[in-house]
Amino acid sequence: MQRLIDAFFNSVRAFRKLASSEKAFQQELMLLVLALPLGWFVSVSWRGYALLIGAVLLLIMVEVLNTGIEAACDAFSREFNVDIQLAKDCGSLAVLISVVIVAGVWGIAIIERILGLPI
């Protein structure tokens, strides 16, 4: 049980650090704050609402992992290294793919809402 408690406090520490210093994380948290009420109006079912909010949470999760990759790379070396550049670029690509997923899920939901189709 202590391991779970420690993991929780580690997670809270990471959340506070990212929320106070990482602009991308801050922007995505604001997106989540906007998505929570907006998703309620866009979706026509609980399932649709969960999908809309889940897509935003997926984006936030990928951003957290990307930040972790960048921090680990920077801790190893701040000098230019092709492998470190690839690791950081891959993390950035993962965030971009997540943004496309969010845009797609929300775009489809909005179109379905406008056209009156079930989500």
Bind-site residues for ATP: 3, 22, 70, 88-89
* Tokens found for residue 39: 């998703």
Angle between helices 46-76 and 23-42 (to 10 degrees): 170
Cβ atoms of 49 and 39 closer than 8 Å: yes
Could you tell me which residues are annotated as the binding site? 3, 22, 24-28, 63, 70, 88-89, 92
**Is 79 a known active-site residue?**
no
Output phi, psi for 63, to 5 deg.
-65, -40
Output phi, psi for 66, to 5 deg.
-60, -45
Question: Which is catalytic among the residues 59, 60, 63, 91?
Answer: 63
Could you tell me which residues are annotated as the binding site for substrate? 3, 24-28, 63, 92
Catalytic residues: 63
